[in-house]
């Protein structure tokens, strides 16, 4: 280590203070505290997404441990550690103990939607998938109008009586989508389910994992009886979502929505409490 004359490096007032407290002594001056590993370069977020992909492929049954080792050039021990690690291992005393957290499974964690959650990407507006989700194409939205609409939507459904709004994140805390239970009718035990992920997060199992958590809550905590939903013929994403969760196809209603110069048929799906719990028992 190269020594430097403090008189050449420090302001006179600071030098006088040091001479008063430690005259003639050698002092070590530590550098400023560094950022936590990976936060400055984005590596931490990149590895978090990679780990979420590995867990998703494993718990969805799309890949076993040897296949994941080959695909990601990782050792058997590293892959197993990623698969069976639930969230961050270090937590402050005032944070949620996720080892006892109901709203998570082997792939995702659900949290209440907030007014400051990331808004919907512009690419989803006026898109085919947006029509499939809403049954119409909306007029263009500017950023302020969309934020006002989102805040109103969240704030008006805070009590969870007829709508339960959630954000979907990986076990590493990366937000990947959102969803809801909607149109909850306590008297008749009916409700609807919706889950969606951000562009680029499709096919990783996040929406199905979130859907199972929401269904478990609706059937086994809220005592609701049947989940009813519909999608459109041609909506491969929506149909695969409901069928992947074990919904039964009830029928097709012809020509129920007009879009791009043609009428679209609706496919109606439903899932009962008994059907869901039978699947859960054999999972």
Please state, as a whole number, how many other Cβ atoms lie within 10 Å of the Cβ of residue 220: 13
3-state secondary structure of 139: coil
**DSSP H or E run through 276:** helix 273-282
- Look up residue 146 and give its DSSP letter: H
Angle at 270 between CA 265 and CA 273, to 5 degrees: 175
Structure tokens at 82: 């990623």
- Look up residue 252 and give its DSSP letter: E
Structure tokens at 270: 């439903």
- Look up residue 41 and give its DSSP letter: T
Give dist(CA 184, CA 227) in Å, integer. 9
pLDDT at site 125: 56
Helices marked H in 43-121: 43-59, 65-72, 76-84
Q: What is the dihedral of CA 139, 140, 142, 144, to 10 degrees?
A: 20
Q: Which residues of the chain have pLDDT under 70?
A: 1-3, 28, 30-42, 59-61, 84-97, 118-127
For residue 15, with 0-12 CB atoms within 10 Å meaning exposed, 13-18 middle and 19 or more buried, which class applies?
middle
Domain 104-282 fold is Aminopeptidase (3.40.630)
Structure tokens at 171: 């076990």
Structure tokens at 168: 């979907």
Give dist(CA 76, CA 73) in Å, integer. 10
pLDDT at site 111: 92
Residue extents of the structural domains in the chain: 37-85, 104-282
255: CB partners within 8 A, 6+ apart: 263, 264, 265
pLDDT at site 40: 60
Structure tokens at 1: 């280590």
pLDDT at site 92: 38
260: CB partners within 8 A, 6+ apart: none
161: CB partners within 8 A, 6+ apart: 184
pLDDT at site 87: 47
Radius of gyration of the chain (CA): 26
CB 122 within 8 Å of CB 186 = no
CB 208 within 8 Å of CB 246 = no
């Amino acid at each position: 280590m190269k020594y430097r004359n403090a008189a050449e490096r420090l302001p006179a007032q600071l030098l006088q203070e040091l001479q008063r407290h430690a005259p003639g002594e050698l002092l070590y001056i530590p550098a400023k505290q560094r950022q936590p590993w990976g936060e400055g370069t984005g590596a931490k977020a990149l590895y978090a997404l990679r780990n979420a992909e590995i867990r998703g492929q494993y718990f969805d049954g799309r890949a076993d441990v040897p296949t994941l080792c080959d695909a990601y050039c990782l050792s058997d021990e590293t892959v197993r550690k990623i698969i069976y690690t639930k969230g961050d291992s270090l937590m402050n005393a005032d944070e949620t103990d996720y080892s006892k957290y109901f709203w998570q499974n082997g792939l995702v964690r659900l949290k209440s939607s907030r007014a400051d959650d990331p808004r919907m990407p512009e690419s989803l507006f006026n898109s085919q998938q947006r029509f499939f989700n809403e049954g119409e194409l909306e007029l263009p939205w500017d950023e302020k109008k969309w934020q006002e609409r989102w805040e109103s939507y969240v704030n008006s459904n805070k009590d969870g009586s007829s709508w339960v709004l959630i954000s979907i994140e990986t076990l590493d805390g990366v937000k990947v989508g959102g969803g809801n239970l909607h149109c909850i009718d306590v008297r008749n035990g009916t409700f609807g389910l919706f889950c969606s992920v951000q562009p680029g997060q499709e096919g990783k199992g996040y929406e199905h994992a979130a859907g199972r958590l929401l269904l478990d809550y609706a059937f086994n905590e809220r005592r609701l009886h049947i989940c009813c939903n519909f999608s459109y013929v041609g909506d491969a994403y929506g149909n695969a979502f409901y069928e992947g969760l074990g919904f039964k196809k009830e029928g097709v209603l012809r020509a129920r929505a007009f879009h791009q110069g043609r009428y679209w048929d609706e496919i109606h799906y439903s899932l009962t409490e008994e059907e869901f719990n039978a699947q859960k028992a054999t999972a």
